[in-house]
Amino acid sequence: MLKRHRSGKKEKKPKKKKKRKVANDNPNSIHLKKVGLSPELQEFLKVEEMPRTQVVKSVWDYIKEHDLQNPEDRREIICDDAMKPIFGEKMTMFTLNKILSKHLFNLAKSEKDEITEQHSDLEP
C-alpha cells in the first residue's frame, strides 16, 4: 500500500541507483580484441597488432603531441610526413575512423583463411 504525504499526494519511492557495468574480461570484447595493422600503420605505430580502440587512441596521442590540429578549425588535422602515407595531406576528426578502417583487418579471419589453405594443400 502506498503511503500518502500530509498534503494527500502519493509519496514517490526512492529510485535505486543502477550499477555501472565494469570492463568485460571477455576476450571477444571490442576493447581487448586485437586487429591486424597494414604495413604503413605498423610503421607509424611501431606495433603489428593492437585493439582498435588503442589504435585510435595512439593516433590521437600523436596528433596532440605534435600539435597537428588546425588552430583555426580544431576539427581539421594537418598531417605531417609520418602520417601522409596513411591519411594524406589533411583529414577531419570525423573521417579519422573511416580512413583507419582501411588499414585494420580482423586477425581471426586471416588465421582461419591460413588454416583452410593448409587443409586444401593436403587434399589430393
| Residue-by-residue DSSP string for 72-114 | S-TTEEE--TTTHHHH-SEEETTTHHHHHHTTEEEHHHHHHHH
Query: DSSP label at 75?
Result: T
Domains by residue range for the chain, with CATH:
34-122 (1.10.245.10)
Q: So what's the pLDDT on residue 81?
A: 94
Residue closest to 54 by CA, chosen among 121, 108, 104, 107? 104
The amino acid that residue 57 corresponds to is K
Structure-block grid coordinates of residue 46: 611501431
Q: What is residue 48's predicted lDDT score, i.e. its pLDDT? A: 93
**Look-up: residue for cell 605534435?**
66
- Map residue 104 onto helix, strand or coil: strand
Quick one: DSSP state of residue 67? T
43: left (phi over 0), alpha (psi -120 to 50) or beta: alpha
Per-residue pLDDT of the chain (124 residues; tens, 9 = 90+): 556 666 666 666 677 777 766 655 666 676 788 999 999 999 999 999 999 999 999 999 999 999 999 999 999 999 999 999 999 999 999 999 999 999 999 986 545 455 445 545 555 5
pTM of the model: 0.64
Can you say how many angstroms the Cα of residue 37 is from the centroid of all Cα atoms in its chain? 13
